[in-house]
Amino acid sequence: MSDVPLPAPALKGVVLLCTDLMLTSAVGGAASAAGIQFRSVPDVLQAVESAKTFDGVLLLIDLAARGFFVSDLQHHFSEELLTQAVAYGPHVHEQLLQDARDAGIGTVLSRGQFNTRFPQLIRQFVSS
């Protein structure tokens, strides 16, 4: 038997940029059920700091949250992180959803689609 320590597993987490308390609770519950760390933050700068605490992060972005422009996300997050991120917003705000796609966000959903799919998205991230 070897005394060489095993490497620590990568710490994965979900960071939700959102101010909707009901949705925050639901996403936090799904993350907990999947056995993964969860952080909910109200602004981009806190999202940046929270994302740094994980080796792998699933960034979930409420496009209706106040205080940032979608185009500014590229200045705060790496291209790789944005490609893996999920953004969601009201389906009637087509330009906002398109702006998120143009900013390099990998998955852009309407709010209704997100509400239906976030548990699955978290489980997929955990198993990746």
CATH class of 13-127: alpha beta
Question: For 75-90, what is each residue's pLDDT tens digit?
Answer: 999 999 999 999 999 9
The structural domains of the chain, with segments of one domain joined by +, span 13-127
The arithmetic mean of pLDDT across residues 104-127, rounded, is 96
How confident is the model at residue 71, as a pLDDT? 82
How confident is the model at residue 78, as a pLDDT? 93
pTM: 0.90
CB atoms within 10 A of CB 20: 15
CB 30 within 8 A of CB 118: yes
The arithmetic mean of pLDDT across residues 108-117, rounded, is 97
The Cα-based distances of 89 to 8, 32, 73, 80, 116 in angstroms read 36, 24, 15, 21, 13
